[in-house]
Amino acid sequence: MKTHIRKRSIRSLSLTRSSTSIQPRNSINVIDKQPSHINFDPLFTSPSHRSDIASFDSEKSSGSYERTLRKLKNRHIQLIGIGGTIGTALFVSIGSALQKGGPGSLFLGFSLWCIVILMLTNSIAEMVTYLPISSPFITLAGRWVDEAFGVMAGYNYFLFEGFLIPFEIVAVNSILHYWVSGYSPAITISVQLVLYFLINIFAVNYYGETEFWLSLSKVVLAIGLLFFTLIVMCGGNPENDAFGFRYWNNPGSFAELYKTGSLGRFLGFFACYIQAAFTVAGPDYVAMSAGEAENPRKVMPRAFRSVAWRLLVFFCLGALSVGILVPYNSPELAEALESGAPGAAASPYVIAMNQLNIPFLPNLVNALVLLSAFSAGNSYTYCASRSLYGMALEGRAPALFKKCTKGGVPIVSVLTALSFGLLSFLQMSQSSAVVLQWIVNLCTASQLISFSVISTTYLRFFYALKAQGISRDTLPYKGIFQPYCGFIALGFTFVMTFVSGYSVFLEGNWSVATFLFSYMMIFVAIVVYSTWKLLRRPKLLPLKEIDLFMDKQEIDDYCEQFAAEEALKPPPPKIVQILSYIFCR
């Protein structure tokens, strides 16, 4: 069945889903893997049951305000992926993992988890580049696995991103205390909430531009700290001390935790692995921007391909640097962690700078960490609002959450996401360190659930393509070593979901609060899934009946129209071309 669509009136469409699944032909026109635009065979496209395609049209379109707009450029997408993945955890909280496991365990734990994330990226990239829609992996989980599964995935991710907002707000307040104290946290919390509101309430291109420059400061900080480590370890410091890998030998590479001997060293490594599971992320933030990306068939593959170097540079080399600069038994590190030292005072980088009597740099690092935390909270606000908006489009959240402004901003969803920031006021009655640890425990399990959802959804997609006779060679992005990467990522993330809070069960470690915050999201996910399953009784579709073509034709038409319009435009300014070459290749 062929769907006829006028390219200039995509936004006004009101399509209904076909009641019968569309069976593809045995062959599909193969296209170039890196084209300027993608134009799949329309004979393989199923009409959509909703007008999610509104986000695929230009800002000139009119209609009811229930649509986001595609205004995020290539460079925005690239840096948004960095903005959501790099926060205070990489520069400050990582010191706690160093103390528990030592430099060897820290580097090994982060490196191994980065491999899992690469496998996950390999899976989500294939799905999202094929259907770059709003809240893609949440929406596709409901279409390709089970409606109840999609609902669970959506609310889990919404809560995950929502709870991360107060995490970064509390972190920003703590960072400010590095310079000045004696003021009420309510002041900075309120100011930050207002700033997030102002950034996210205007058209998405303003958010993208703000996040681009904020994330650029993170890149400068992360790379700058790597060069700092290289220089000082080779003797370029006021003490003229070329210490190299000294701390890997004394006190050693692997610290003991809870127990002695090999078991203690393994538990130290596992603590670092759990910290990596919270700190290292990435592909989901890139995916969440797919519904508002310009020319997504070209932009999204590039964004996903760049995840590998981000993981290597920011997380693997970052973990290595921390273990070089500070010994795991450092008294200064222990005191900073125990006292809940404000801001970057607990950062291994700042501790090393102070030990080496390097002036000025600690203040500069604290300032850039402040921007890093603010940027991360901004990204979480965006992702939380878009996940709720995506569920509303699918009819899995109240319709008011899909209401958008003229600029294409889902205003009600943004306000709802920002309401999580009010949890930051818990700091008024508890120390910032306690509140931050609560949120870390809560979000680690939630993030792992999302990763398991992505892997499960991909495996359904992989076998549905196979069952329907569709070659993966026709996709705009084809992952390597599939479906093995999907199975391995699913196995690791699923198991880690249940064991990440294991320490609460050790003798003398029991805490009701720690247990609840470590495992609450698992119970929430089970309750949401079971409730929707009982109320709606959705069935798991056979692989041959999964609709792989819903929304696809509209995206194809948009990409074709976009490519035609871009061909008529003059080239961008030189500075934009340079930045695009550096960050968007």
Report phi then psi at 72, rounded to 5: -85, 120
**What's the pLDDT score for residue 432?**
57
Exposure on the CB side of residue 94, measured as CA atoms within 13 A: 34
Grouping H, G, I as helix, E, B as strand and the rest as coil, residue 72 is strand
First to last CA, the chain: 38
Distance CA 197, CA 467 (A): 46
**What's the pLDDT score for residue 469?**
93
User: Token pair of 138, please?
Assistant: 């949440």
**What's the pLDDT score for residue 61?**
39
Cis peptide before 47 (omega within 30 of 0): no
Closest listed residue to residue 541, CA positions, set 80, 5, 148, 262: 148
Measure the CA dihedral 156/157/163/168, to 10°: 160
Distance CA 474, CA 471 (A): 6
Grouping H, G, I as helix, E, B as strand and the rest as coil, residue 293 is strand
**What's the pLDDT score for residue 41?**
39
Structural domains in the chain plus CATH codes: 64-583 (1.20.1740.10)
**What's the pLDDT score for residue 409?**
86
Judge contact between 491 and 459, C-beta under 8 A. no
Grouping H, G, I as helix, E, B as strand and the rest as coil, residue 87 is coil
User: Token pair of 83, please?
Assistant: 């903005």
**What's the pLDDT score for residue 343?**
65
Amino acid 141 reads: A
Judge contact between 326 and 352, C-beta under 8 A. yes
- Per-residue pLDDT of the chain in tens (585 residues, 90 and over written 9): 433 433 333 333 333 333 333 333 333 333 333 333 333 333 333 333 443 444 444 444 334 445 666 777 777 777 777 766 777 778 888 888 999 999 999 999 999 999 999 999 999 999 999 999 888 888 999 999 999 999 999 999 999 889 888 888 888 888 888 888 777 788 888 999 999 999 888 877 777 788 788 888 888 888 999 999 999 999 988 888 899 999 999 999 999 999 989 999 999 999 999 999 888 876 888 888 888 888 888 888 888 888 878 788 889 999 999 999 999 999 988 888 887 676 667 889 999 998 899 888 888 988 888 888 888 888 889 889 988 988 888 888 898 998 888 888 889 999 999 999 888 887 666 555 666 677 777 788 888 999 999 999 999 999 999 999 999 999 989 999 999 999 999 999 999 999 988 888 888 888 888 888 888 899 999 999 999 999 988 888 899 999 999 888 888 888 888 888 877 888 878 877 776 666 555
